[in-house]
Amino acid sequence: VFMHLAMTPVCFSTESDRRTVFIALTVISLVGTVLFFLIRKQEDTKAPGEADSANDILGESSSAQTKMSRAVAAFKKSIKLSFTKEIMLLSVTTAYTGLELTFFSGVYGTCIGAVNRFGGEEKSLIGLSGIFIGVGEILGGGIFGLLSKNNRFGRNPIVMLGITVHFIAFYLIFFNMPNNAPIAPMEGTDDVAYMIPSKEVAIFCSFLLGLGDSCFNTQLLSILGFLYSEDSAPAFAIFKFVQSICAAVAYFYSNYFLLQWQLLIMVIVGFFGTITFFAVEWKAAAALAARGSDYSSI
């Protein structure tokens, strides 16, 4: 909950509002941390003799291999896994999720708030945009999460839907938002793109951004869990690492690039990321068919 609250793009006009939100997020993060430490460990249901022998084995194991050595071994394993063909192909898709994460969580809200043509409501539209992004995320995550359990067509149609939805959103944003909106001064911009800025189109694009993001994230997590079901921790660590690095890069160039160039970067990376995802999915489907398994079990 704290992560989603912190990522929601909201603009505050006074120092008092900023202080209130800062205090609220700090309290929520502290409460969440305390509750995390209060999670009880799973109770041991083994017989006393079994428990003693298990403790002896754990004691010998921990003495033979320190926590530092296990951490180094896990790091080396992640590095080795990152150079495999499947991970390198999926890294392009993951990179796209990092770029568009930055766009819908920070850049797009800035663009909305900078458009003076929205009248006195441009600041309040930032919060409304964040709400509709969340609606798209929740709707897409719920639907595609349920469909993935009984989906005979695999993951490719959902990823194709996600990139299509995003391309539609980028097209509408390009026509609706001024090109200098991401780098506009504090006073905003009076420029007009290829149409008079529409509040309805801006909010609709927020929903599309959230919906498309849910398509990519649900299917990426699904295919990683399928390919690396026996040892998924390194694969998911690489996923978060690549996504975070690309999100940071996008935050850096978002302060300098016009809107059209930021959209173009996402279109190019998104296109190739979709192709690489298809390649990995087809290979996984072929391997599954070779074992005589039903594709719906993927």
Quote the pLDDT of residue 160: 94
pLDDT of residue 292: 56
Report the 3 state secondary structure along the chain: CHHHHHHCCCCCCCHHHHHHHHHHHHHHHHHHHHHHHCCCCCCCCCCHHHHHHHHHHHHHHHHHCCHHHHHHHHHHHHHHHHCCHHHHHHHHHHHHHHHHHHHHHHHHHHHHHHEHHHHHHHHHHHHHHHHHHHHHHHHHHHHHHHHHHHCCCCCHHHHHHHHHHHHHHHHHHHHHCCCCHHHCCCCCECCCCCCCCCHHHHHHHHHHHHHHHHHHHHHHHHHHHHHCCCCCHHHHHHHHHHHHHHHHHHHHHCCCCCHHHHHHHHHHHHHHHHHHHHHHHHHHHHHHHHCCCCHHHC
Lowest mean pLDDT, pick from 17-21, 178-182, 186-190: 17-21
Can you give the pLDDT at residue 201? 94
Residue ranges per structural domain of the chain: 92-285
Q: Into which CATH architecture does domain 92-285 fall? A: Up-down Bundle (1.20)
Confidence class of residue 41 from pLDDT cuts 50, 70 and 90? low
> Considering the chain, what percentage of its residues have pLDDT values greater than 70?
77
